[in-house]
Copies of this chain bind each other. A is one copy, B any other.
Amino acid sequence: MKRFVEVEQWLKTHGIRLTDQRRLVVRRAVAYLHFTAEELVKDVQEFDPSVARGTVYRTLAMLQQAGMVEKHDFRYGPPNYEVTFAKAHHDHLMCLHCGEIIEFQEPRWERLQDEVATRYKYQLLTHTHKLYGLCAACQGAGDKRLAKPPHLHVEEMVA
């Protein structure tokens, strides 16, 4: 089953009203790996220019609230969103030159984290762990500065 169908079902069963606008936002969001709010606004408005910015932000907040979308503050540019519904926990490795984002898992970290939390008597709720560097392809390139914002990877429109 397509992911957006599951997301829509989840919304329905949780008493959240399904409007055309929300459907569109969800469908466009799941087509991306990572995206910024403004990118999603533009993308959604290409399909329906009448959808307001506020609606996209509100829907995004709602999805985040529901735990289907996560917001990441990568170090450069505005925050990045990711649809995490039915996805295993992972951390991120980002190329500072081309903006590639790799998702990886490292269970040994999770254990070390618990250890640290215990050390300081903290009840751990969440964490972010991000590595920044240069991917193999960009290590040769001359200018090592961030060339473009963290991106993107669009699948086809699933309408």
Contacts and interface: CB of A to CB of B under 8 A. Distances in A.
A93 B19 CA distance: 40
A116 B128 contact: no
Contacts of A132: 124-128
Given A75-B73, A116-B93, A130-B128, A123 B104 contact: no
A133 interface: yes
Contacts of A122: 93, 95, 102, 131, 133-136
B128 A75 contact: yes
B104 A108 contact: no
Interface string A79-117: 000000000000001011000001010101100110011
A112 B109 contact: yes
Contacts of A133: 117, 122-126
A69 to B, nearest CB: 14
Contacts of A95: 122
Contacts of A73: 73, 75
Contacts of A109: 109, 112
16 contacts: A71-B75, A73-B73, A73-B75, A75-B128, A93-B120, A104-B116, A109-B109, A112-B112, A121-B136, A123-B133, A125-B132, A125-B133, A126-B132, A128-B130, A129-B129, A129-B130
